[in-house]
Structure 1
Amino acid sequence: MKFLIVGLGNFGASLAEKLTNQGNEVIGIDSSMARVDALKEKISHTICMNATDEYTVSGLPLKDTDVVIVAIGEDQGANVMATALFKNLNVKRLISRAINPLHEMVLKALGVDEILHPEEETAERWAKKLCLIGVIDSFELSEDYSLVEANVPTMYAGKKIKDLDFRNKFNILILTTIKKTVIQGNLGKTEIINKVQGVASAELVLEEDDILVLYGSNMDIKKFLNNY
């Protein structure tokens, strides 16, 4: 995949490196030459430019870019301006960083596809969410092993866990499933929450809207998710 990351601070730089290391093409942009120079040997491409300037931004290979991530954190104004600019240029998928609730509200109003919160989420988790099909969330247990939440592949809906033989076929374990459950909320309104179902049994029948909680090596999980 091809990513464009705007803002090469701690989070943006870390994410750019991880995505590059996973075999993706990454263009990193920042207005600071020092930050650009620090990453020029670590990611695919680096450019020193002002991401709020429409003329220079329009010259980027946006049609060939799968995901644009605005990771600017220190300047909310620049973040919003850059986000609005990329939105107006109709990029395929736009993700932007929110600094506080008000900033998040503005980003939602602009119509970004997803909002990231670096203070709560690591670059490692976002790298998995961006690179692995169907991943909702992940937790890295070590350099090689992770817990990953992923959507049930359509082809497995209606089948029992024992019949899928995950352990032998994919070398990963289904620890549990999470189901979307409707509850009665405040003021009589209904809410949909994710409810953990407990340890998954061999007889459990998977449903299409279920979320799988998988354990295994990063390599095996990636192989499974990118091939269903």
Structure 2
Amino acid sequence: MKMKQFAVIGLGRFGSSLATELINEGLEVLGIDRDEEAVDEMADVLTHAIVADSTEEETLRSIGIRNFDCAIVAIGDDIQASIMTAILLKDMGVKMVVAKALSVLHGKVLERLGVDRVIYPERDMGIRVAHQLVNPNLLDYIELSKDYTIAELSVPKCLNGKTLKELDPRAKYGCSVVAINKKNGVIIAPTATDVLNERDVMVIIGTNEQIESFEEELVGT
């Protein structure tokens, strides 16, 4: 079942950007922050925005936080407040709790608390930018786990007109093309006979090493 109601706790740069994007997706978003000025800035953007201290259990109960499909702890610089908020959200039975980690240690603590998903915005963005600088064909890069990656690669001119069978990334590199984004639509689970055209976008899944080998091959051709 698709999540519809989100609570974003912490309306700094990351929290406000995330909350705005959720609104743009047509979802209901409650914004919470201790800073009245931050709340005022987002009041006209979000479904609701309130000034509140998320480390106070009674405050969260009065908001009805456990009724939200997902609560995102986006507190920017107060690790103690982040951890306390995450503990309360889990104890109160919020269906899904996502939290921003400020460091690896902070992230490990959040994981131990049972947070459903820990995100590292600065680290992840740094990884993406680094990969994009090294490989101009790389459009996006998402680490699914410690070992597996999903990447979007632009088809270079040298592969124009080639079929997936000719490219054969699974046999050569161990990674798989799971989709091809073309001008006229997306091909999900493409077959060996599907033809690549310059500037198509291949969605590839594999281990980090497999993706890197495939990227290097594209750069070298």
Q: TM-score range by the shorter chain?
A: 0.5 to 0.7
1:71 aligned residue? 74
Q: 1:91 to 1:137 in 2, by over 3 A?
A: farther
Contact 2:9/2:15 (CA < 8 Å) preserved in 1? Answer: yes
Runs (5+) with no aligned partner, structure 2:
129-141, 143-148, 155-176, 180-187, 216-221
Among candidates 202, 209, 212, match of residue 175 of structure 1: 202
Counterpart pick for 1:21 among 20, 24, 27: 24
Identity percentage over the alignment? 34
- Normalised by the length of structure 2, the TM-score is 0.60
Structure 1 residue 59 displacement after superposition: 2.4
Are the equivalent residues in 1 in contact too, given 2:11–2:75 (CA < 8 A)? yes
**What TM-score do the two structures reach when normalised by structure 1?**
0.59
Partners of 2:99 and 2:67 lie apart in 1 by 19
Alignment partners' CA distance in 1, 2:16 and 2:150: 21
Q: Provide the C-alpha distance between the structure 2 equivalents of 1:138 and 1:85, rounded to a whole number of angstroms.
A: 36
Quick check: 1:177–1:198 contact (8 Å CA) kept in 2?
A: no
User: Structure 1 residues 53 and 194 mapped into 2: Cα distance closer, same or farther (>3 Å)?
Assistant: farther
Return the offset for 1:69. Answer: 0.5
Query: What corresponds to 1:195 in structure 2?
Result: 210
Residues matched between the structures, number: 158
> 1:146 maps to which residue?
none
- Give a deviation string over 1:156-189, Cα, whole Å, max 9, x none: 66x62547x999xxxx955152224xxxxxxxxx
Q: 2: distance between equivalents of 1:26 and 1:176? A: 30
Residue 120 of structure 2 corresponds to 117
Determine whether 1:51 maps to 2:54: yes
Once residues 70 and 137 of structure 1 are traced to their aligned partners in structure 2, the CA distance between those partners, rounded to angstroms, is 25
Give yes or no for the alignment of 1:160 onto 2:191: yes
Q: Whose radius of gyration is greater, 1 or 2?
A: 2
> For 1:82-97, what aligned pairs fall within 5 Å after superposition?
82-97=85-100
Aligned pair 1:39/2:66, yes or no? no
- Structure 1 unmatched runs, 5+: 130-135, 142-150, 181-192, 200-228
Q: C-alpha displacement at 1:109, in angstroms?
A: 1.0
Residues 161, 38 of structure 1: CA spacing in aligned structure 2 closer, same or farther, 3 A cutoff?
Answer: farther
Distance 1:49 1:176, change over 3 A: closer
CA shift at 1:80, angstroms? 0.5
Shift of 1:195: 2.2
Q: Distance in 1 between matches of 2:7 and 2:192?
A: 39
Indicate the SS of the match to 1:92: coil
Residue 17 of structure 2 aligns to a residue whose secondary structure is helix
**In the TM superposition, what is the alpha-carbon distance from 1:152 to its structure 2 partner?**
5.2
Cα RMSD after superposing both structures: 3.3
Report the counterpart of residue 80 of structure 1 in structure 2: 83
